[in-house]
Structure 1
Amino acid sequence: MIILCIDIGKTKTLAISLNEHGKVFGKFVAGPSGMWLKEEVIVKNVREAIEGCLRISNIQLNDVRLISISWADLDTPKDWENAWKVIEKVGIEKDKVLIEHDAVAAYYAITWGEPGVAVIGGTGSIAYGVNRYGERMRSSGWGWLIGDEGSAYWIAVRALNAVSRAHDGRGKETILSEMIMEYFGIKEELEILHKIYKELEGDPTEISKIAKIVDKAASLGDEVAVEILEEAGRELASAILCIVRKLNMANDRVIVGGLGGVFRSNIVRESFIKSIKENVSNAILRGPLIGDQAILGPVIIAFRRLGLTVSEKIVEAVLDGLGEKF
């Protein structure tokens, strides 16, 4: 049995092929296909990911039993309608495709379907949880202009704001000023305006890359950078904690964890864990899942749909096939 699993995000589109034993035959990475992008871009990148994966795996589309997709930015009925239009334009039979919001897939990647909550800390941020009664809830994920607290974009904007405040004398001095100017190849802080608003046109994906600079500055002991990352960890934990409270899970055995590149930061990770442990005594922490490990979400969803058992052996096989550690 051949299964194709796709993780569609704001940064990339990852496709892998595998069998019911978790053996991975191949993987392919294409450009981003989040639903907020233009349709032609989404169609191009989804098609490229699928065709590339099938080619590398030496598999025909007809051989695939199920295509399980985790898709970012499916927030409204219109988004779902557009997602299915993309599938149609790519030329795939709808009855062979299973689509889930990336927050739902993140939940499965962390909990394997047990009661719990997962939070994504990537370009954006969003949390999703399910309690023992099957009640569901999401938190955060309001996009870069409204929310996405704790995300890479949120961290980057906090850093840019800190640089502006330091320049004006309204905030603490920070090595972020020098490091961000070096990153952009400019000599004065005010030139950041041209870079952000003119050259990058406010592109969240590009601006989010500044988060790595913040982590580097923090590792050098910059207080402002450390404060930003610690707050990011607390914000990501907060997205989980509000779901735990509203779904009355505080006294239950609850699995929680994070996914996404923001969790590469030791400071974010430690702040996140500290906040969870202080507020949910029965929490079982898993992860974080970083890089290609998020593909576990659509894999586990596919296995459950097909009536296949998800075990540590299966998960380990998938991660080994991707060159990732369990």
Structure 2
Amino acid sequence: MNKYFVGIEGGSTSSKLVVLSGLTGNILFRKQAGPTNPWLSFDESVSTVRSLVRSAEKHLQDQKAKPRYEDEFFTSEPEKGNGSKFGGIGLTLSGLGDKNLQKKFLKRLIHKSGGELANEYFFGSDLIGPLETAFGPGRVGCVIISGTGSSSRLVAEDGRVYRSGGLGHLLGDEGSGYSTSVNAIKLILQRVESSFLEYEETRRFDISVLYRKMLNYFEITQGSELLTIFYRDFRKHKIAGFTRHIAEAAYNGDPLSIYLLQQTGKQLGKLACSITNKYIKNNPKHPKINFLGVGSMWKSWDFIGDCFLGQLPKVPFRFASLKETSAIGAASFVARKTGLEIPINRENLIEVKYEN
């Protein structure tokens, strides 16, 4: 098992695990579980990671017991040295960018597991896993996450990291699922309450489609019941989930929903522009920039795309989305830490949306 590498990507809604063969890069096992953002629940996140790793360990041990083997490392010969330990475990989790928190997480993980699970470990935030998955080392890559929350990181050729966004729903998260939902809800409530706070620009839209969807999604009968959802039983991912219904209405032609998603595209474009300008200022002779959109909001590219692209600087770039889990990047990171470069065909893992 010490030639297998585990990667886990996790956020506030769900987590995904893959096990890669260190020799071929083949995915030997996959599993999905609940959230692993340590800021939401540290102990629960540790338990979820432990459970995912133990499931992978059991699956691979069961496969080794079978008479025929599909991967190069499934052999009947006993492994030397480290028993059933994995070669490495890589975690790229939302909220796990702090070094002290990483040390605490590793200590608790080993303690709850009754000992070491792998020969090596790698910890990082959910922003770096997608870049490693899509582009690998040594290329200028900028990830723009737009899911429940939003954030952006750009990694230069020299490894320097540029940051923008990622301040959370109280101080930022523009262009996220949460902000899109809140913008829709605020507009509806302002209209229902006959509030003069509503912007002149939005008064031309009919709110009836989204109003019905809002009442049905939150299982309420009137807008005032949202106060309980926002102030007593607050769940960020639940509120952000309303964007699925906004997207559905947009694809059915609702003008207000289309407008809201276009505004989200502009906000994401400004986020990308901000971080790109920081990088260009220090690297005037920069190579083509690889932008990567990660998160459920990018599924509405038909409405977000043009507004997003219209905000970007006039520089050579490519924009792509992932077709695979960024847990692959987490496994690749930890393998490299052991001195092994897993062969990964990264062009097969992305879908290019735009290139100039």
TM-score by length of 2: 0.79
- 1:89-238 → structure 2 map (5 Å cutoff): 89-91=111-113, 93=116, 96-113=120-137, 114-170=139-195, 171=198, 172=203, 173-174=206-207, 175-198=209-232, 201-238=233-270
Q: Secondary structure at the match of 1:10?
A: coil
Question: Is residue 250–residue 280 contact of structure 1 (8 Å, CA) maintained in 2?
Answer: no
Question: Is residue 230–residue 267 contact of structure 1 (8 Å, CA) maintained in 2?
Answer: no
Q: CA deviation at 1:147?
A: 1.0
> Structure 1 runs of 4+ off > 6 angstroms?
none
Q: What is aligned with 2:108? A: 86
Determine what percentage of the aligned residue pairs are the same residue.
21
Q: What is aligned with 1:41? A: 44
Q: Secondary structure at the match of 1:28?
A: strand
Q: CA deviation at 1:95?
A: 5.4
Q: Secondary structure at the match of 1:281?
A: coil
Q: CA deviation at 1:221?
A: 2.7
Change (3 A) 1:78 1:314: closer
Q: What is aligned with 2:275? A: 243
Deviates more, 1:11-20 or 1:180-189: 180-189
Q: CA deviation at 1:237?
A: 2.5
Q: CA deviation at 1:75?
A: 4.6
CA deviations 1:62-92 (Å, max 9, x no partner) are 2411111112113545433432333233335
Tell me how far apart the structure 2 counterparts of residues 219 and 63 of structure 1 sit (CA, whole Å).
48
Amino acid aligned to 1:74: L
Matched, 1:262 2:265: no
Q: Secondary structure at the match of 2:87?
A: strand
Amino acid aligned to 2:295: G
Question: Is residue 120–residue 127 contact of structure 1 (8 Å, CA) maintained in 2?
Answer: yes
CA deviations 1:81-127 (Å, max 9, x no partner) are 43233323333538521111111223223332211211111111111
Change (3 A) 1:241 1:308: farther
Question: Is residue 85–residue 119 contact of structure 2 (8 Å, CA) maintained in 1?
Answer: no
Q: Give structure 1 stretches of 5+ with no counterpart.
A: none
Question: Is residue 43–residue 89 contact of structure 1 (8 Å, CA) maintained in 2?
Answer: no
- 1:29-68 → structure 2 map (5 Å cutoff): 29-58=32-61, 62-68=84-90
Change (3 A) 1:234 1:57: farther
Change (3 A) 1:247 1:274: closer
Q: CA deviation at 1:33?
A: 1.1
Tell me how far apart the structure 1 counterparts of residues 15 and 242 of structure 2 sit (CA, whole Å).
21
Question: Is residue 129–residue 138 contact of structure 1 (8 Å, CA) maintained in 2?
Answer: yes
Q: Secondary structure at the match of 2:298?
A: helix
Alpha carbon RMSD of aligned pairs, Å?
Answer: 2.7
Tell me how far apart the structure 1 counterparts of residues 28 and 149 of structure 2 sit (CA, whole Å).
30
| Count of residues paired in the alignment | 315
Change (3 A) 1:65 1:108: same
Tell me how far apart the structure 2 counterparts of residues 107 and 217 of structure 1 sit (CA, whole Å).
32
Tell me how far apart the structure 2 counterparts of residues 90 and 148 of structure 1 sit (CA, whole Å).
34
Matched, 1:295 2:320: no
Question: Is residue 259–residue 294 contact of structure 1 (8 Å, CA) maintained in 2?
Answer: no
Greater radius of gyration (CA)? 2
Tell me how far apart the structure 1 counterparts of residues 99 and 345 of structure 2 sit (CA, whole Å).
37
Tell me how far apart the structure 1 counterparts of residues 102 and 219 of structure 2 sit (CA, whole Å).
41
More helix by share: 1
Amino acid aligned to 2:219: G
Deviates more, 1:95-104 or 1:139-148: 95-104
Q: CA deviation at 1:142?
A: 0.7
Q: What is aligned with 2:71? A: none
Deviates more, 1:173-182 or 1:214-223: 214-223
Task: Identify which of 13, 18, 21 aligns with 2:20.
Answer: 18
Tell me how far apart the structure 2 counterparts of residues 67 and 256 of structure 1 sit (CA, whole Å).
26
Question: Is residue 67–residue 97 contact of structure 1 (8 Å, CA) maintained in 2?
Answer: yes
